[in-house]
Structure 1
């Protein structure tokens, strides 16, 4: 899908054709749509299609007549029937008099620009637009990181209650997401560092301040990712220890019960042997069976008391 936008008098509207000062938004374009734009604007089609490859890494490429900026942005996906987060590439192509964005999804980062919710947004000020996109991406990373931390807190609060193995899997998924975020944020940081050195990209004086803000936000997101990874790792270790401890308690309880139950089994086994009844205590007594049962019960109670005293039960 291809849409063309242009800002005039601080308001954005959609255009029917490509012209100077427009923003061309390409959302999961087909090969034919990419070829059409590439031929009309003299762009390598591989540079347009690069953002559609999930394995593409963040980078900047200076080509004759245009500049390709490829960064990773956060997005929502459904994993194991649950809401999860991952990263996808976003391609930004800067031409002399227009800008092109290419992405596999209608990301909320660009959706705010379409709705005119970003202050001082202009399709004619290309570098400011790029920095605003990167600033929104870093802010969205931080927002999703806070959501991930809330999920960790929810799992941590259940540790004292009904903790299950599924919580360990949930923590593992959170940790995997943070790995994706950390990798993408570091790669984006390299792109931002290179943007500070390129003189070819025309900038307004206030754009440099915005770039500094983007770099700070990106570094803060990287720091948050590192902190949350450490916390989640500690939570996972705590959860594993709690589960192991509960399993040990169950095994200790079952072992104690087995010991106690072995007492009447041994006594009844001895009395079941085919030997002379005269040698067996209470064998010839009128109430011998009841006496033996009472003695067995007392021995079991004594064993239970000893086990409880030794904190084995």
Structure 2
């Protein structure tokens, strides 16, 4: 299998210099053809104070031994191939401490498509920290271009100069977490629209989206809880400086979990509203059928009585039949009333 020359995108971000204590940063984007020795991580780590390297991989080869991107990544990052496999395949979120590096597997959800076919997509990002270099390894993510990440870094240059690795990692993780706000915002908007639609005309596709949203919400809560555990565990690592960790990192996760509880309640209310509206619609249909039946009842009764055949010469036959009918109806009325059916 031949590897496409531009299949693996690599972006660099590093502090090049300082002027009056203010860091001057530089970014560079490349592909496989541009990975020269000058931009090898070992060279960059010895040359610059802090380096952030983002690597986007696209190869879908499942056999790790034949995945040329994985082999090239192993050479670039200098880690065992089995760890590369963990990063590029679906794994549970976690943080693992190795001898000379820290590996973080972070996950989040984004909106793949909206109504009428509402779907979310799960993303996995591997963050590897070694000395003064941070690697971000993931498949291409349209919702989080690397330029957005670099803009976040440049927004707080003094914090970056002071926090170093702690700032780079926590800012990046916080940016990933922020992506899930878009999902919750869409859910809130969807619920509002569906509430109005439920009152007017509920349909099965809407119920399908609601039930699917409840399933996705459970996945989102699991991911957030796992990510929160990761954040709490990595902050205990010696790599990070606790005083440079932004307090909003954990606050954002807790706020998202609180938002999930609100969305869960709204989805439950919306489900109940859908069934209530559907039941009201059924009741309206039954009401119309009952009205039509009532209109036809009297003519049917008259036609039934006067359409009966009796023996000739017995004038009281019809009266006897009517009395028996009234008697049966009276007995049933008394029975139902005693049973509280009326």
State the TM-score, normalized to the length of structure 1.
0.77
- Residue 46 of structure 1: which of 65, 82, 97 is its match? 82
- Counterpart for residue 171 of structure 2: 132
Change (3 A) 1:259 1:163: same
- Counterpart for residue 94 of structure 1: 129
- Counterpart for residue 141 of structure 1: 180
Map of 1:122-271 to 2, 5 A cutoff?
125-199=164-238, 201-203=239-241, 207-208=244-245, 210=246, 212-271=247-306
For the 8 Å contact 2:56–2:140, the answer to whether it is kept is no
Secondary structure at 1:258 match in 2: helix
Deviation string for 1:136-177 (max 9, x for gaps)?
122221232111111001101223211223222221122222
Shift of 1:61: 0.6
Asked if residue 23 in structure 1 is aligned to residue 59 in structure 2, the reply is no
Change (3 A) 1:51 1:133: same
Distance in 1 between residues matched to 2:82 and 2:315, nearest whole Å: 98
- Residue 29 of structure 2: which of 3, 10, 14 is its match? 14
Secondary structure at 1:109 match in 2: coil
Distance in 2 between residues matched to 1:178 and 1:136, nearest whole Å: 20
Distance in 2 between residues matched to 1:26 and 1:189, nearest whole Å: 25
Distance in 2 between residues matched to 1:40 and 1:111, nearest whole Å: 19
Deviation string for 1:214-239 (max 9, x for gaps)?
11111111111111111211221122
Shift of 1:184: 0.4
Shift of 1:267: 2.0
For the 8 Å contact 2:110–2:182, the answer to whether it is kept is no
Asked if residue 120 in structure 1 is aligned to residue 164 in structure 2, the reply is no
Change (3 A) 1:81 1:252: closer
- Counterpart for residue 12 of structure 2: 5
Secondary structure at 2:13 match in 1: strand
Change (3 A) 1:249 1:38: same
**RMSD between aligned residues:** 2.9
For the 8 Å contact 2:87–2:137, the answer to whether it is kept is yes
